[in-house]
Homo-oligomer: A and B are copies of this chain.
Amino acid sequence: MTVAAALADLPTPCLILDEARMLRNIARLKTHLDGLGVALRPHLKTLKSVEAARRVLKDGNGPATVSTLKEAEVFAAAGVRDIIYAVGIAPQKLPRVIALRGAGCDLAVVLDTRVQAAAVAAMSRAVGDAIPALIEIDCDGHRAGLKPDDPEIVAIGRILHEGGAQLRGVLCHSGGSYGQVGPEALADFAEQERAAIVAAAETLRAAGLPCPVVSVGSTPTAHFARDLTGVTEVRAGVYVSQDLVMAGIGVCTPDDIALSVLATVIGHQSERGWTLVDAGWMALSRDRGTASQAVDQGYGLVCDVEGQVIPDLIVVGANQEHGIIGLRAGSTATAPDLPVGAQVRILPNHACATATEFDDYAVLPADGSAHIARWSRFRGW
């Protein structure tokens, strides 16, 4: 059975996961980090699927990173036993953390304020469970965290360590790496990230505090780091599927992207060179992450139903349930004939944003059989 035949009967829009590409992406990063002698702690926020997590995690049970407590709860129930919830903890959420830990999951939290540290310490004492906490470090001015030499690091470390919690270490996320392009710049950014987190760990240790875990992470830096001395683990998430934003900075090519949205042609505006499909932003997401890159992919890059990129054909506009396909500005390519009822596949700008629009994946299995499997995914908090 061909891929086209396997997909022909799927209601559209539909989210396709190419398992062979996914496994290739997983193997690539594992090989790179094995070579650097550093552990990988995959971030499960992109695919949010137990079936996918089984293929990503070592032995299927961890270590892992999550962005919501809902993810922690679902993956813990599926047997994952070592998780970092990598978004600053709100004190109100600590009862759910305690419940998960009580159920046997070694769940750690992240924080960067004294208020949070005091709340974690107080909860640890109250329930007799030393909640592990990592102090978030700001390595690039991107978002949260303390500067590596901020004296607050030691102050917070003491509140945790002396207050009954477990000071597990330091963690940073170099989100700014998404704005770097090419191997050299990404390697330099990875080194900046490494230097920041190692400095923060030294700050804690110099104060006599423990810092067993030194955690960095972002898909771009994970792939291009040349040396991770002092780092104990790397977190990355979107590498499993890759996407056009990653392709735009040179982390992968479009042929590595394992996710696509299957859509059906529903009309044309020939004068404008438009083909309309039934995948609008409700399916593709509103993410325009390539808008600021050298090549703007609109709302996605169009492939034929077999998954081959059609040169210069992109989703130039999107309404809620309408995608407008056309050639990119300035292209001299010829758009293919796409009659009403024809199917196309659209590569996403941002895998995390597109995937969350769907409740499951139609999986093209890695064995090449083209017998579509269904893997469920979840969302929420």
Contact = CB atoms under 8 A, between A and B. Distances in A.
Interface of A: 11-13, 45, 67-68, 87-93, 111-113, 115-116, 119, 136, 138, 143-144, 175, 264-269, 276, 278, 281-283, 285-288, 317, 319-322, 324, 339-341, 350, 352-353, 356-359, 379-381
Contacts of A112: 267
In this complex, which of A281, A283, A339, A340 has the most chain B Cβ atoms within 10 angstroms of its Cβ? A340
B286 A115 contact: no
Nearest to A45: B320
A266 B87 contact: yes
Which secondary structure dominates chain A's binding surface?
A: loop
Given A88-B276, A266-B90, A113 B340 contact: yes
A340 to B, nearest CB: 4
Contact of A11 (B267, B358, B381): B381
A68 B13 CA distance: 10
B13 A381 contact: yes
Contacts of A119: 341
A321 B87 contact: yes
A320 B317 CA distance: 23
Contact of A267 (B144, B356, B358): B144
Contacts of A268: 113
Nearest to A89: B266
Contacts of A88: 266-267, 276, 278, 322
B12 A381 contact: yes
How many copies are assembled? Answer: 2
A355 to B, nearest CB: 11
Given A115-B341, A359-B379, 10 more contacts: A11-B92, A11-B93, A67-B282, A67-B321, A90-B278, A111-B267, A113-B268, A136-B267, A144-B266, A286-B288
Contacts of A322: 87-88, 143-144
Contact of A12 (B67, B90, B339, B353): B90
Contacts of A358: 380
28 contacts: A67-B320, A68-B321, A88-B267, A88-B322, A90-B264, A90-B341, A91-B340, A91-B341, A92-B341, A113-B268, A115-B339, A116-B266, A116-B340, A119-B341, A138-B269, A143-B269, A143-B324, A175-B319, A281-B287, A281-B353, A282-B352, A282-B379, A285-B286, A286-B288, A286-B353, A357-B379, A358-B380, A359-B380
A358 B357 CA distance: 11
Contact of A87 (B138, B278, B380): B278
Contacts of A138: 269
Contacts of A111: 267
B282 A356 contact: yes
Contacts of A12: 90, 92, 381
A171 to B, nearest CB: 13
Contact of A92 (B45, B264, B281, B319): B264
In this complex, which of A115, A116, A144, A358 has the most chain B Cβ atoms within 10 angstroms of its Cβ? A144
A276 to B, nearest CB: 6
Contacts of A144: 266-267, 269, 276, 322
A42 B100 CA distance: 44
Contact of A287 (B11, B143, B286): B286
B319 A276 contact: no
Contacts of A68: 321
Nearest to A142: B319
Contacts of A115: 339-341
